[in-house]
């Protein structure tokens, strides 16, 4: 029944795909509470698209990024009667748009709720109308007629855990062909959330003894690898496509990760689908759940119990987990900033980051952080100054004067905590890099500290000897008059 899981429009095969997920969410967050104006979205997405904007029209961008809104529920729309108001998914705001995003937690929650049948497949018009897409409606009609009721990620996780209980092996996997034959095409499984996983596992073990590979259509399971971004499973391609439980689960049955996987596999939440199998009734139901906002509320996690939500959102990486022998290589060699960006754009797999490095990389994935870094780097390059960087250091340069930048995306709620982190980072990075000894320290804020945080500016300058600068409303870089020396190449004006 499930000919396709998820969508091939979301490039989840890339190991650093979650960076794009964060950037998409950050852009959508700009439209939170705004009226839907479809022309604005493409212009913003041009910032992160790898495709040639000149060679395509606005609908191409909607096609490229619209899947994020529907399949991941990144944004919902409130009908006002004569138009739509955009609302960013609260989970996305919390887990993707914060100063240190946690995309794995976001994906765990979304994959724990993504189900078949679902009402996905709606085209929204700014005037308040909507249209149900014919292809998705046809698939939904087929699924409802066959009484399908399945959350794919939960079903896979449930079978993986049952297989682990049976074999007690650290290498527990399900092949794509097994997922296809024994889960997705098995009416016992895809019509019953409470199916008996032990029976399914017994059939899988028996089939493995025969050594026969079960074929599955090329069009099926196109994006099954998306669930690897939950942090609970991982995918290998050889000798065949397989989904494995992570060793954090199989090595310790008393761990929080094991309990998290078990909890998800046993979740009962399900968005109730119309019981009418009439084509027109299904079409009407699809429209109504968007008009009344019930699907968006469900997919935003409102149906999940508080205890479940807290467990699933629990981060799998924490600075507290670092041991002395895993110390982050903050003093890694600096290299050309432009070349570093080119390497990142190729999406090539790299070594696994330790927890501290993971936190740094998450913060750097924030779109506004990237925009500020790029803005400063471009100005340095335009003045024939060659910016350097590495995983930890946002930007620095040696000539004509040594400069070390730390960039912080922030708001009124997190600016103090971001400042504290930046101060410790600047001092440590300068100390641990021989070529940066004596460098001028610069903390670049997304916005100027105001109100009860104005004291930060004087504290940085007079007590910490760190130069603050920030972006004003006109996308200009500002600092204090007494701090501009050595920064003339990047500063627009002083106060």
Mean per-residue pLDDT for 417-441? 93
91-111, pLDDT tens digit by residue?
Answer: 999 999 887 789 999 999 999
For residue 174, list its beta bridge partners: 243
Q: Which one has a higher pLDDT value, 290 or 413?
A: 290
Using the predicted structure, report yes or no on whether residue 428 has a pLDDT greater than 90.
yes
Model confidence band, residue 351 (pLDDT cutoffs 50, 70, 90): very low
288-327, pLDDT tens digit by residue?
Answer: 999 999 999 999 999 999 999 999 998 885 433 333 333 4
Model confidence band, residue 374 (pLDDT cutoffs 50, 70, 90): confident
Mean per-residue pLDDT for 42-63? 58
pTM: 0.76
Using the predicted structure, report yes or no on whether residue 453 has a pLDDT greater than 80.
yes
pLDDT score, position 482: 95
Distance separating alpha carbons of residues 389 and 76, to the nearest angstrom: 38
Number of C-beta neighbours around residue 428 at 10 A: 13
pLDDT score, position 39: 65
Domain boundaries, the chain: 17-100+113-145+276-308, 152-266, 324-494
Mean per-residue pLDDT for 30-36? 90
pLDDT score, position 291: 94
Verify cis geometry, omega within 30 degrees of 0, for the bond prior to 239. Answer: yes
Model confidence band, residue 343 (pLDDT cutoffs 50, 70, 90): low
Sign of CA dihedral 263, 147, 131, 288: negative
Distance separating alpha carbons of residues 120 and 74, to the nearest angstrom: 13
Instruction: Dig out the tokens for 363 from the structure.
Output: 């913060």
pLDDT score, position 203: 93
pLDDT score, position 411: 80
pLDDT score, position 40: 64
pLDDT score, position 325: 31
Question: Whole-number mean pLDDT of the chain?
Answer: 86
- Cβ atoms of residues 21 and 85 within 8 Å: no
End-to-end distance of the chain based on CA atoms, in angstroms?
65
DSSP assignment, residue 332? P
pLDDT score, position 44: 72
219-276, pLDDT tens digit by residue?
Answer: 788 889 999 999 999 999 888 899 999 988 999 898 899 999 999 999 999 999 998 8
Within 8 A by CB and 6+ apart from 46, the residues are: 53, 61
Q: Which one has a higher pLDDT value, 412 or 378?
A: 378
Q: Which one has a higher pLDDT value, 478 or 341?
A: 478
pLDDT score, position 47: 64
Q: What is the residue whose two structure tokens read 């509320």? A: 297
192-219, pLDDT tens digit by residue?
Answer: 999 999 999 999 999 998 877 778 887 7
Mean per-residue pLDDT for 125-132? 91
DSSP assignment, residue 12? T
Using the predicted structure, report yes or no on whether residue 176 has a pLDDT greater than 80.
yes
pLDDT score, position 322: 30
Q: Which one has a higher pLDDT value, 304 or 337?
A: 304
Model confidence band, residue 476 (pLDDT cutoffs 50, 70, 90): very high
Distance separating alpha carbons of residues 87 and 76, to the nearest angstrom: 5
pLDDT score, position 293: 94
């Amino acid at each position: 029944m499930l000919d396709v899981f998820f969508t091939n429009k979301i490039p989840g095969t890339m190991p650093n795909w979650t960076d794009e997920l964060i950037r998409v969410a950050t852009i959508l967050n700009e439209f939170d509470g705004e009226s839907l104006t479809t022309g604005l979205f493409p212009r913003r997405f041009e910032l992160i698209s790898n495709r040639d904007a000149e060679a395509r029209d606005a609908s191409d961008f909607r096609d490229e990024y619209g899947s994020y809104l529907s399949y991941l529920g990144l944004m919902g729309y409130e009908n006002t009667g004569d138009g739509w108001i955009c609302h960013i998914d609260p989970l996305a705001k919390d887990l993707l748009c914060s100063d240190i995003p946690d995309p794995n937690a976001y994906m765990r929650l979304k994959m724990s709720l993504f189900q078949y049948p679902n009402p996905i497949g709606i085209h929204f018009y700014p005037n308040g109308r909507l249209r149900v897409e014919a292809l998705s409606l046809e698939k939904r009609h087929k699924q409802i007629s066959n009484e399908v009721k399945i959350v794919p990620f939960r079903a896979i996780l449930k079978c993986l855990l049952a297989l682990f209980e049976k074999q007690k092996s650290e290498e527990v996997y399900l092949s794509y062909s097994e997922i296809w034959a024994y889960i997705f095409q098995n009416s016992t499984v895809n019509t019953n959330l409470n199916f008996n996983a032990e029976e399914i596992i017994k059939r899988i073990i028996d089939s493995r003894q025969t050594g026969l590979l079960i074929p599955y259509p090329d069009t099926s399971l196109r994006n099954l690898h998306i669930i690897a971004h939950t942090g609970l499973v991982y995918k290998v391609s050889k000798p065949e496509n397989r989904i494995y439980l992570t060793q954090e689960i199989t090595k310790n049955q008393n761990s929080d990760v094991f309990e998290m996987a078990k909890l998800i596999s046993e979740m009962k939440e399900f968005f109730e689908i119309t019981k009418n199998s009439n084509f027109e009734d299904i079409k009407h139901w699809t429209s109504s759940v968007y008009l009344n906002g019930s699907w968006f509320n469900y997919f935003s996690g409102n149906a999940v119990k508080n205890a479940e939500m807290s467990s699933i959102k629990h981060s799998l990486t924490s600075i507290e987990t670092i041991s002395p022998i895993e110390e982050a290589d903050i003093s890694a060699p600096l290299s050309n900033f432009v070349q570093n960006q080119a390497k990142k754009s190729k999406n090539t797999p790299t070594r696994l980051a330790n927890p501290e490095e993971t936190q740094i990389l998450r913060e750097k994935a924030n779109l506004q952080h990237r925009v500020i870094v790029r803005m400063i780097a471009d100005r340095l390059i335009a003045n024939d100054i060659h910016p350097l960087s590495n995983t930890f250091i946002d930007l620095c340069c040696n000539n004509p004067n040594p400069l070390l930048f730390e960039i912080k995306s922030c708001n009124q709620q997190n600016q103090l905590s971001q400042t504290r982190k930046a101060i410790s980072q600047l001092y440590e990075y300068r100390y641990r890099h021989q070529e940066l000894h004596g460098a001028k320290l610069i903390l670049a804020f997304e916005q100027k500290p105001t109100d009860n945080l104005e004291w930060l500016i004087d504290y940085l300058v007079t007590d910490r000897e760190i130069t603050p600068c920030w972006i004003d409303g006109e996308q200009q870089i500002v600092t204090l008059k007494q701090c501009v020396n050595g920064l003339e190449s990047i500063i627009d004006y002083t106060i």
